Amino acid sequence: MAESVRNVDQGRRRLVTMLAGAGAGAAVFGRALSALAAGGAKVTAEMVKQAEWVSGVAFSDEERALMLEDLNETADGTAALRAVVLDNAVPPAFTFAPNPGGPKPETGASTPAPRRERPVARPSSDEELAFATVRDLGRLLRAKKVSSTELTKLYLARLAKYDPVLSCAVTVTSELALAQAKRADEELAAGKDRGPLHGIPWGAKDLIAVPGYRTTWGSVPFKEQTRPETATVYRRLEEAGAVLVAKTAVGELAWGDVWFGGTTKNPWKLDQGSSGSSAGSASATAAGLVGFALGTETLGSIVSPCTRCGVTGLRPTFGRVSRHGVMALAWTMDKVGPIARSAEDCALVFSAIEGKDALDPYSTDGPFAWPPRRSLSGLTIGFVEELFDEERGKNAKTEEEKASAAEWRQIDRRSLDVLRQLGARLVPVKLPSKTPVSPLSLILTAEAATAFDALVRDGRVKTMVRQTADAWPNVFRQGRLIPAVDYLSAQRARTLLMREMDECLSGVDLFVAPTYGGSSLLLTNLTGHPCVVLPNGFRMTDGTPTSITFTGKLRGESDLLAVADLFQRATDFHSRRPKLPEAPATKG
Give the end of a domain, one of 18, 50, 84.
84
In a domain, 15, yes or no: yes
257 pLDDT more than 70: yes
Give the end of a domain, one of 33, 65, 84.
84
CA distance 402 to 399: 5
Give the end of a domain, one of 31, 54, 84.
84
409 pLDDT more than 70: yes
Q: Which long-range contacts (CB under 8 A, 24 or more apart) does 52-59 make?
A: 53/22, 53/25, 53/26, 54/29, 54/481, 54/483, 55/483, 55/485, 55/486
Based on the fold, state whether residues 74 and 156 are members of the same structural domain: no
Query: Which carries the bigger pLDDT value, residue 465 or residue 17?
Result: 465
pLDDT confidence band for 103 (50 / 70 / 90): low
24 pLDDT more than 50: no
Based on the fold, state whether residues 217 and 338 are members of the same structural domain: yes
Cβ-Cβ contacts under 8 Å for 449 (sequence gap 6 or more): 456, 475, 476, 477, 478, 479, 480, 482
Q: What is the pLDDT of residue 1?
A: 55
Catalytic residues: 205, 277, 301
pLDDT confidence band for 206 (50 / 70 / 90): very high
Q: What is the pLDDT of residue 25?
A: 45
14 pLDDT more than 60: no
Half-sphere exposure at residue 468, Cβ-oriented, CA atoms within 13 angstroms? 9
210 pLDDT more than 70: yes
In a domain, 332, yes or no: yes
In a domain, 539, yes or no: yes
Q: What is the pLDDT of residue 10?
A: 41
pLDDT in tens, 133-150: 999 999 999 999 999 999
Based on the fold, state whether residues 250 and 342 are members of the same structural domain: yes
**165 contacts 83 by C-beta, under 8 angstroms:** no
569 pLDDT more than 90: yes
pLDDT confidence band for 410 (50 / 70 / 90): very high
Based on the fold, state whether residues 64 and 137 are members of the same structural domain: no
Smallest CA-to-CA distance from 360 within 333, 329, 321 is with 321
Q: What is the pLDDT of residue 112?
A: 63
CATH number, residue 353: 3.90.1300.10
pLDDT confidence band for 344 (50 / 70 / 90): very high
Q: What is the pLDDT of residue 6?
A: 45
In a domain, 513, yes or no: yes
In a domain, 407, yes or no: yes
Mean pLDDT, the chain, as a whole number?
90
pLDDT confidence band for 100 (50 / 70 / 90): low
168 pLDDT more than 80: yes
pTM across the whole model = 0.90
Signed CA dihedral, 364, 366, 372, 377: sign only: negative
460 pLDDT more than 90: yes
Percentage with pLDDT > 70 across the chain: 88
Q: What is the pLDDT of residue 546?
A: 97
pLDDT confidence band for 548 (50 / 70 / 90): very high
* Window from 133-137, 370-374, 506-510, 568-572 with minimum mean pLDDT: 370-374
For residue 47, the enclosing domain spans 1-84
In a domain, 102, yes or no: no
466 pLDDT more than 70: yes
pLDDT in tens, 215-243: 999 999 999 999 999 999 999 999 999 99
Based on the fold, state whether residues 19 and 159 are members of the same structural domain: no
586 pLDDT more than 70: no
Q: How far is CA 511 from the centre of its chain?
A: 20
Based on the fold, state whether residues 408 and 538 are members of the same structural domain: yes
CA distance 511 to 79: 48
* Window from 79-83, 128-132, 245-249, 451-455 with minimum mean pLDDT: 79-83
In a domain, 468, yes or no: no
CA distance 209 to 125: 34
pLDDT confidence band for 453 (50 / 70 / 90): very high
Based on the fold, state whether residues 366 and 220 are members of the same structural domain: yes
Q: What is the pLDDT of residue 584?
A: 52
